[in-house]
Amino acid sequence: MKRILLGNEAIARGLLENGCSFAASYPGTPASEILSTFLQMAKAENSPALGEWSINEKVAFETALAVSYAGGRSAVSMKQVGLNVACDPLMSSAYTGVKGGFLVISADDPGPHSSQTEQDSRMMAMMAKIPALDPSTPQEAKEMIGAAYQISEEFEIPVMVRPTTRVCHSRQGILLGEIPSPVLPSGFPKDPQRWAATPRYRFTLHLKLNQKIEAITEKYGKGSFLKVLGNKSARQCIISSGVALAHTYDLIKELNLENQIALYQVRMPYPLRAKAILDEISPFQDILIIEETYPVIEMQLAMRNRIKGRMDGSIPPQGELVPDVLLESISTFAQIPGEKKPLPSGKPRRPTLCPGCPHRAAFYALRQALPDGIYPSDIGCYTLGLNLGAVDTVLCMGAAISQAAGLYHAFRIKGEIPPIAATIGDSTFYHAGVPALINAVHNGARFVLLILDNSTTAMTGDQPTPALERLADGRQGKAVAIEDLVHASGVQNVKVIDPYELEEMTKAIKEAHKATRSENGEVSVIIARHPCLMSPGASKKQKVYCMEVTEDCVACEICFRDFECPAIGPDPQSGMAKIDQNICSGCGVCAQVCPQEAIKTKGSEGTRIQGAL
Amino acid sequence: MKMQIAITGRGGQGVLFLTRILTECALDLEQEVIASETHGMAMRGGSVISTLKVGPFRGPLIGSGQADLMLVLDEGSMETFFHLLSKDGTLFLNSPSSGSHPFIDATGLAAGIGSPLMANLVLLGFTLQHNKLFCDYPLTESVTGRISPERFREANLKGLKLGYSFPSSQRPG
């Protein structure tokens, strides 16, 4: 039976069909749907498989790895920059190896579309010395889960499956298999020389790891190199992997190049059985390697004078390999005239915080309170505070707090310290903000920290945070409150405010800043708490106003330029503010923003507009 | 059978739901199908695009000038993706007016039946009346009914029908 599934759903299904008993993850585009689907499908099939949203990727990795140490099949999934956070256990677990099959699913984002970098997880696999499988379609991703578990258990090694955005977020008819009982933990085999190896034994583990990789290359290297297109007459060849292979396949067909070009797929880019591949491709005159995003296959095939790819610029060394890019590269390679293709014109609409988003109110208050401030920020929906001019830095998860501290110390040396106000989301605070806050307090940094608490992981699709008792698998967990963590980090000055109360919020930020500069000043924390309106049920719990713009509007544009509400725009004729009732959430904050008091609520409380956000 | 379709709009307009309906229709017709969707930050009101390829394709993306059909829910995002449309392709636009493409004021019509968010289905229904899609109205209607969440089912089907039965005389010549 076939069912239409998203790539991430196909991966989740693959995990269940191959007996995964435990999966852990931290949400991040493009990997977020894997864990939630895994748990939904497990529940629907009455499978005893478990899983969790962990606090961050390192914790997710270590938790799932321990299940494997105890003999159960397990998996950890994350986006590629999440693997950076989990890099420490990744490197070490390659040495210790595993017992039950253990998969690291790291989803890359060539482009990048929703990430800080377009780094290649396969290179991380290479550095860790673990095999990496590279699916080109959702169907293949599901199939590779089985192959990956087989290798993992046979050689007691973690195995990476590396989908990219266009696999994760593609939809395809997927052949479904049976869901067996999961491979449950059998017991923890005590073996301190392995699981608790000291450096002396680590050398031995490294030796064993090298032997494993050699044996995997020998056994699986050849079978993972497949000819997928090309006639006997072909004199050129393209080697490809991942979704780039799928696009190359379509282009060779479209251009009728099968008599000229043979296409090979590498299903396991690391370890590569280079000798066998070089023997196979040596009859070809020219060889082009097409892969995303870094030259992982290319680097392993040492035949520099004949191989073209990302390293000699035959393929652009950065960016997603979309059909238009590949068409140009393949046309040049095949020496056929490239057709002039129409190019995109017009800029895409930029994303914005939703109408009624509590972050917008918090950012607006921040700009009002500390207009000359420096605003380090972080990763999440609230990165879109950029549109309000309230975000100055975005580095990586948790960096807002460490960078605010660093900026304070930088200016302390200089002697003049501008206002510094960091913003971080609630989920990001749990993920990597807590150690940064302890460090800032301990080392005497002074700045305002706004924790934008919308009680969810909003950007990635409403995953629960540790502040909630709702767990990923439906069980009830224990809530861990943000304010308790803030207090325990040594912060004395903590306030919780609803950012919809704009005046109070602005005043509190001013006072918090003043406190940081008082004689015994330190970090001041404001928890700006208001639920995300996208969370189910949240918008029904708040007052909804029907807003109108009166004749007092002087077209100052503050409500849609500075406050940047997407539900307000200029009337084409008069230039006065006009509210789009189809998308207005009725939050009423704009009425507090308007200096002319020209935005008013119609009656005391309007009726909710059906279908509005 | 080979058909490449692009669906564009702003995040939140229901591009993903239309993509789901059409992939399910393809499966019902026992056609191979692969579609690419926009998730992540762009979904917060930014321009989004789904590409859908029916037939023996392997990759989910569409090259410039390759789309046989294009459904545009947000006129402001049209220029960004217009280059995908084949010179023989047809574009269906959600707009109160247009010079060169079949158009329908899907947002206005949907708001008129009390659900502005059903504009996506109005546009899909309108597209279906032109007989250019690989699937027909009865199949699309049954798939829409099947995959709609209970609380939106009635409104979704109403929207689809509204677009499908929209007077054809209001199309540009």
| CATH code where residue B19 lies | 3.40.920.10
Nearest to A171 among B10, B35, B61 (CB): B35
Which residue among A138, A348, A381 places its CB closest to the CB of B46?
A348
- Segment A15-45, tens digit of pLDDT: 999 999 999 999 999 999 999 999 999 999 9
- B24 falls within a domain: yes
Q: Does B90 touch chain A (CB under 8 A)?
A: no
Q: Give the pLDDT of residue A613.
A: 36
Q: What is the pLDDT of residue A345?
A: 82
Residue B92 CA to residue B94 CA, distance in Å, equals 7
- What's chain B's length in residues? 173
Nearest-angstrom CA–CA distance, B159 and B124: 9
Report the pLDDT value the prediction gives residue A605, as an integer from 0 to 100.
52
Q: What is the mean pLDDT of residues A461-473?
A: 92
Task: Reply yes or no on whether the pLDDT at A262 is more than 50.
Answer: yes
**Chain B: residue nearest A140 by CA?**
B58
**Interchain contact, B77 vs A169, CB within 8 Å:** no
Average pLDDT on B154-165 reads 96
Summarised one tens digit per residue, pLDDT across range A515-554 is 999 999 999 999 999 999 999 888 888 999 999 999 999 9
pLDDT at position A58, please?
98
Contacting residues of B for A352, CB less than 8 Å apart: 44-46
Nearest CA in chain A to B118: A611
How confident is the model at residue A582, as a pLDDT?
A: 86
B113 touches chain A (CB under 8 A): no
Decide if B45 and A352 are in contact by the 8 Å CB cutoff.
yes
Segment holding A451, helix H or strand E: strand A448-453
For A350, the closest chain B residue by CA position comes to B46
pLDDT at A603: 62
Task: Flag the least confident range among A202-211, A333-342, A512-521, B136-145.
Answer: A333-342
Name the residue among A354, A566, A582 with its Cβ closest to that of B107. Answer: A582
CB atoms < 10 A from the CB of A555, how many? Answer: 13
Per-residue pLDDT tens for A417-437? 999 999 999 999 999 999 999
pLDDT of residue A340: 75
Report the pLDDT averaged over residues A489-502: 97
Give the DSSP letter of residue A559. I
- The pLDDT tens digits of the residues spanning A87-105 come to 999 999 999 999 999 999 9
Question: Per the domain annotation, does B171 fall within a domain?
Answer: no
The first and second tokens of residue A383, run together, are 């990165």
CA distance A131 to A155: 11
Is the pLDDT reported for residue A566 higher than 60? Answer: yes
What is the tens place of the pLDDT at every residue in A306-339?
899 999 999 999 999 999 999 999 999 999 987 7
Residue B170 belongs to a domain? no
Number of domains chain B is built from: 1
Give pLDDT, residue A540: 85
Helix count (H) and strand count (E) of chain A?
A: 21, 23
Amino acid at B5: I
Question: Is there a domain that residue B23 lies in?
Answer: yes
B35 found inside a domain? yes
pLDDT digits (tens, 9 = 90+) for B67-80: 999 999 999 999 99
Q: How confident is the model at residue B115 (pLDDT cuts 50, 70, 90)?
A: confident
Indicate whether this complex's ipTM tops 0.85: yes
* Residue from A1, A3, A4 whose CB has the most chain B CBs within 10 Å, to mutate: A4
Chain B CB contacts of A347 under 8 Å are 80
Copy the structure tokens of residue A370: 């500390």
Please indicate if any CB of chain A lies within 8 Å of the CB of B38.
yes
B130 falls within a domain: yes
pLDDT in tens, A337-383: 877 777 888 888 899 999 999 999 999 999 999 999 999 999 999 99
Mean pLDDT (whole number) for A36-64:
97
User: Does B58 contact A at CB distance below 8 Å?
Assistant: yes
**Alpha carbon A139 to chain centroid, angstroms:** 22
- Give percent above pLDDT 70 in chain A: 98
Confidence class for position B169, pLDDT limits 50, 70, 90? very low
Closest Cβ–Cβ partner in B41, B46, B79 for A346: B79
Domain residue limits at B24: 3-164
Q: CA–CA distance from A258 to each of A227, A247, A251, A264, A510 (Å)? A: 12, 15, 10, 12, 68
pLDDT of residue A445: 98
Residue with tokens 């002074």: A446
- Could you tell me how far CA B109 lies from the centroid of its own chain? 16
Specify if B45 maps to a domain.
Answer: yes
Alpha helices in A425-501 (DSSP H): 426-428, 434-442, 482-488
Q: What is the 3-state secondary structure (H, E, C) of A358-413?
A: HHHHHHHHHHHHCCCCECEECCCHHHHHHHHCCCCEECCCCHHHHHHHHHHHHHHH
Q: Is A113 in contact with B80 (Cβ distance < 8 A)?
A: no
Nearest Cα of chain B lies from the Cα of A418 at a distance, in angstroms, of 31
Q: Which domains does chain A have, with CATH numbers?
A: 2-220 (3.40.50.970), 225-334 (3.40.50.920), 358-538 (3.40.50.970), 543-601 (3.30.70.20)
Q: Does some domain include residue B169?
A: no
Minimum CA–CA partner of B33 in chain A: A172
Size of interface A-B (CB pairs under 8 A): 160
* C-alpha to C-alpha distances, B118 to A224, A313, A582, B66, B108, nearest whole angstrom: 46, 47, 11, 28, 10
The whole model's pTM is what? 0.96
pLDDT at A305 over 90: no
